[in-house]
Amino acid sequence: MTINVEPYRIKAVEPMRVTTRAERQAAMAEAGFNTFLLRSEDVFIDLLTDSGTSAMSDSQWAALMRGDEAYAGSRSFYALEQAVQDIYGFPYMVPTHQGRGAEHLISQILITPGAGQYTPGNMYFTTTRAHQELAGATFVDIVGDKAHDPTAVDAFKGDIDLGKLDALVREVGAERIAYVNVAVTVNLAGGQPVSMANLRAVRDYCRERGIIVWSDATRCVENAYFIQQREAGYADTPVAEILREMMSYFDGCTMSGKKDNLVNIGGFLAMRDPDLLQKARSLVVLYEGMPSYGGMAGRDMEAMSVGIREMVDDAYIAHRIRQVEYLGTLIDEAGVPIVKPIGGHGVFLDARAFLPHLAQDVFPAQALAAELYLDSGVRSMERGIVSAGRDPATGDHRRPKLELVRLTVPRRVYTDRHMEVVAESVVRLFERRGEIRGLDMVYEPATLRFFTARFAPLR
């Protein structure tokens, strides 16, 4: 079928309010020109994130009613554990309140304070790096160079550069590598996938040197779909089988259930080593809850157990990726600069090329995200100098090569007509891009500033 038809029927709807420009101007001023601080009721089409914004299925809503509210030994825990074992292939699992809870646990377990350890990975993610640094490690980016070039076209821009990894290991020694963290897909590169061949190569390299390989598996199903579509030998392989093979190359993973797992809250830490399991169970009691619920209610675990099985349906994931591609194609064909190839969970506007008259230190991606909301009520997210934060050694801004605005598409929520509205607004802004001004940061928190920083327009 040439039309990207939704493989589901819509049984319930949520009204959306169209605001006036005057209302949006007031809302944006109140939010300090930070889209994170907008009230959701003031947003028309919300593309801030795909995290916790998915629409659940009828089976998931039914599963909520099966939720076991037991404090210990919850039946719902065992349903979730079985789903993780069946679909991901890891024998052990500890639930967490969401993905960053799992990031915190594994950072505390594998990183020794004061040991001068390193956590190389294929581009940083904000909360992951924050947990690693707070635990005492130093993040090193070992993604291929093409990932930092929005115009470079490559099927697997998320691949680890084995040369960069080997150079780091030779410099500091394998014993000082706390673990290698592989994100599938790579969020801040534009949702770019990692090839199966690269995963095997990383696993083989690390196994020879006794280095643990972990995965940020948050969007691994999208990665599996790209392998099916782009990598030789997988065209006729179901996404579920590809996912199992991908996960077989890791010692464990962190997972935000709010993305692939199609739920609004929850996550887990999965592993193969029973000793790591015992350490995780000890820490989860301190930070999350009992090992049999980890910060989630039984109903949340039940819904996640169903979502894990639904996420590997080939028809569903094909529609999901094609909808993102449709949005990106509409924008690209109008000449608007975006990250290519179009990724799995969103379209990333290249704010540096979109607004070449703005220096990076006046936050062009933040300014562009604010302007998009003012134009149409579409909420998006900055992924550039604000998200990168400050270098803890120098106190200066980190200045990433990529200065992006992320249009993140929630799963099973919007139709292609909504995507057309978004594209029309982006193109309209591009046509008057010379009028867009930069911003001044007037409030900055100590960590993860992009969530709560406040800005004011430059005059």
CB 262 within 8 A of CB 283: no
Phi, psi of 130 (to 5 degrees): -60, -45
Residue 395's alpha-carbon distances to 135, 193, 446, in angstroms, are 19, 32, 11
Catalytic residue among 88, 125, 139, 293: 125
DSSP string, 42-106: G-SEE-S-SSS-PPPPHHHHHHHHH----SSS-HHHHHHHHHHHHHT--SEEEEESSHHHHHHHH
CB 370 within 8 A of CB 35: yes
Is residue 260 part of the annotated active site? The answer reads no
Q: Which of 90, 429, 440, 30 is nearest to 270 (CA)?
A: 90
Phi, psi of 362 (to 5 degrees): -110, 20
Is residue 216 part of the annotated active site? The answer reads yes
- Name the pairing type of β-strands 404-408 and 118-121: unpaired
Catalytic residue among 259, 340, 379, 449: 259
Catalytic residue among 35, 49, 119, 126: 126
Catalytic residue among 129, 383, 412, 449: 383
Catalytic residue among 71, 399, 428, 432: 71
Catalytic residue among 216, 260, 300, 350: 216
Is residue 314 part of the annotated active site? The answer reads no
Phi, psi of 424 (to 5 degrees): -60, -40
The partner residues of 347 in beta bridges, in order of sequence, read 407
Q: Hey, what's the torsion of the CAs at 205, 210, 216, 219, to 10 degrees?
A: 40
Count, residues in the chain: 459
Is residue 71 part of the annotated active site? The answer reads yes
Q: Which of 10, 15, 85 is nearest to 55 (CA)?
A: 10
Is residue 363 part of the annotated active site? The answer reads no
Is residue 287 part of the annotated active site? The answer reads no
Q: Counting Cβ atoms within 10 Å, is residue 106 exposed (0-12), middle (13-18) or buried (19+)?
A: buried
CB 118 within 8 A of CB 137: yes
Is residue 125 part of the annotated active site? The answer reads yes
Catalytic residues: 71, 125-126, 216, 259, 383, 450
